[in-house]
Amino acid sequence: MTAYSLLELNTYLKRVLVLNFEEPLWVRAEIMQAKTHRGHTYIDLVEKAADDEHVQAQASAILWSRQRKVLESKLNQNLDDWLTEGAEISFLVEVQFHEVHGLAFHVIDVDPAYTLGKLELQRQEALDKLRLEKLLDQNKKCQLPDVIQKLAVISSDAASGYQDFLQQLRENAFGYAFDLHLYSNAMQGLQTEKELSENLEQIRAQNYFDCVVLIRGGGSRIDLSAFDAYGVAREIAQCPIPVLTGIGHETDTTLADLVAHRAFKTPTAAAAFVVDRNAVYENTLLEKFHHVEQLTRYSLQRESLQLKNQENSLRYLPAEVWSRAQSELDRTKKVVDLLIDQRLNSEKSKIEKVATHLAALHHHSVLNRGYTLTTLEGRIVRSSAQIKKGNSIKTRFKDGVITSKVEAQHD
Amino acid sequence: MDQLDKIIHDLENGAIEIDELDSTMERAQALLAYCQEKLRKIESKIERSKSV
């Protein structure tokens, strides 16, 4: 049996491949890993089974620095956004075999429509799943406070969108102060879901924030693909705190936006909403305050008027009361005077009667009328039977007394 | 007045001895004068009150 040297074999394989793959060809694969070194990008490609995701095929591809620049210029995008772990890409490759380095695919072109189509398919599947699990409206049912002050911001501190958001809040015209905590998170790629889950768990555990704001500074459809992932959308939907999104894209709506409590086109718009919401509440308070103030003023005016009326009433009332009391007093006085006069007259009449009676009873008046008063031994003789023959009796006249001796008695 | 009433009552019923008659009548006159004076003073006081 003939034995080949390794070089001979590799030279043979190279010739076979060159003969069979004269033209570049399109290959679909999932990116397992992509690393850039000195401008060249080294990509590990895999194809996984649909059911259990075990690796069925694997190969390496190289995107040379010069070709990368050509592609980026053609797509008008940074290829880092496309060459992310888990992305499904359709590459135009040249199949090459090098005697020393072995088999390699040299990337010539990329088909963005394939990737976007795949993404859209995945997005639709995720959307159906979210709808089936009734997660689309779950976060919308969380109560967003009337005043938002404590914000948990999930973003990347380097993202321009985050800076825009901060600036909008800091420079708000009303001078509102916010307590803002940044939870740093990958904003694209497979890490996004894992970190988002961890951050939301921390935010939940703190039980402090009024809302969560998910901020990203814009990007292409492919950049934002993480926000179309089912896992990310589910985390947002199930968050018990209202989640606002300001992912930064004008045309498309990600699943994260769909399940969020409120979605805004830009981080600046999200910040403006927060400021406006507080301003609306302040205005409502001010209106209520003015209403209460008006009511109070009206009530005070009414009370003041009432007081004035009462004061006027009081000013004239005492005179009236006095006059009434005076006439009552006069009437009473007259009655009292009358009673006193009656009593005095009665007493006077009584005394006069007594005086008249006394005068009538006085023995002098009797004597003056010509009567006499007879006494026997100092006692008034009222009957002849009191006297006996021989008694010495005294007879009193008005002008003197005589003594007589009884000689005889006659019936 | 009660004393005067009693004197009148005694006079009417002859309960007063002749020797006491004068003194009793003098007392009656004094009591009468006292009552009249008292009445006069009360009248005068009332008049003064009325004028105030």
Q: Locate tokens 């990368």: which residue?
A: A68
State the amino acid at position A374 in one-letter form.
T
CA distances from A188 to A38, A156, A193, A265, A368 (A): 23, 10, 9, 18, 156
C-alpha A46 chain-centroid distance: 54
Confidence of residue A251 (pLDDT cuts 50, 70, 90): low
- Distance (Å, rounded) from C-alpha A90 to C-alpha A92? 7
**Which pair of structure tokens corresponds to residue A139?**
């976060």
Blockwise average pLDDT, block size 10, chain B, 52 residues: 88 80 88 90 85 74
State the amino acid at position A340 in one-letter form.
I
Share of chain A above pLDDT 90, in %: 50
**Which pair of structure tokens corresponds to residue A96?**
């090459």
The single-letter DSSP state of residue A169 is H
Contacts of A363 in chain B (CB under 8 A): 21, 25
What element of type H or E holds A211? strand A211-215
For residues A9-29, give the mean pLDDT: 91
Question: In this complex, which of B1, B28, B43 lies closest to A350 when CB atoms are compared?
Answer: B1
Check: CB of residue A351 under 8 Å from CB of residue B2. no
Q: What residues does A30 pair with on adjacent strands?
A: A46, A88
The residue of chain B nearest to residue A357, with distances taken between CA atoms, is: B8
CA distances from A384 to A376, A387, B13, B14 (A): 11, 6, 19, 16
Closest-CA distance of chain B to residue A332, Å: 13
Closest-CA distance of chain A to residue B34, Å: 10
Contacts of A345 in chain B (CB under 8 A): none
Residue A229 has pLDDT above 90, yes or no: no
B8 in contact with chain A, both atoms CB, cutoff 8 A = yes
> What is the end-to-end Cα distance of chain A in Å, rounded?
218
The closest alpha carbon to A37, from A62, A71, A12, A15, belongs to: A62
Strands of the sheet containing A243-246, edge to edge, are A179-184, A150-155, A211-215, A243-246, A262-264
For residues A354-383, give the mean pLDDT: 84
pLDDT, residue B46, reads 83
Whole-complex ipTM: 0.86
Best A330, A352, A363 residue to mutate vs chain B (most B CBs within 10 Å): A363
pLDDT, residue A249, reads 65
The residue of chain A nearest to residue B15, with distances taken between CA atoms, is: A380
Q: Provide the 3-class DSSP secondary structure of residue A138.
A: coil
The closest alpha carbon to A372, from A392, A395, A394, belongs to: A395
Closest-CA distance of chain B to residue A336, Å: 11
pLDDT, residue A379, reads 80
Using alpha carbons only, give the angle A397, A402, A406 rounded to the nearest 5 degrees: 115
pLDDT (tens digit per residue) in A168-179: 999 999 999 999
Best A342, A349, A357 residue to mutate vs chain B (most B CBs within 10 Å): A357
- Distance (Å, rounded) from C-alpha A132 to C-alpha A135? 8
A363 in contact with chain B, both atoms CB, cutoff 8 A = yes
Residue A52 has pLDDT above 80, yes or no: no
- Distance (Å, rounded) from C-alpha A326 to C-alpha B51? 17
pLDDT, residue A179, reads 95
C-beta atoms of B14 and A380 within 8 A = yes
Residue A92 has pLDDT above 90, yes or no: yes
Say if pTM beats, i.e. exceeds, 0.90: no
Check: CB of residue A43 under 8 Å from CB of residue A99. no
C-beta atoms of A344 and B46 within 8 A = yes
A101 in contact with chain B, both atoms CB, cutoff 8 A = no
Closest-CA distance of chain A to residue B22, Å: 9
Question: In this complex, which of A351, A373, A380 lies closest to B36 when CB atoms are compared?
Answer: A351
Give the largest CA-CA distance in chain B. Answer: 51
C-beta atoms of A351 and B32 within 8 A = yes
**Which pair of structure tokens corresponds to residue A297?**
């003023």
C-beta atoms of A344 and B7 within 8 A = no
B19 in contact with chain A, both atoms CB, cutoff 8 A = yes
Length of chain B: 52
Confidence of residue A242 (pLDDT cuts 50, 70, 90): very high
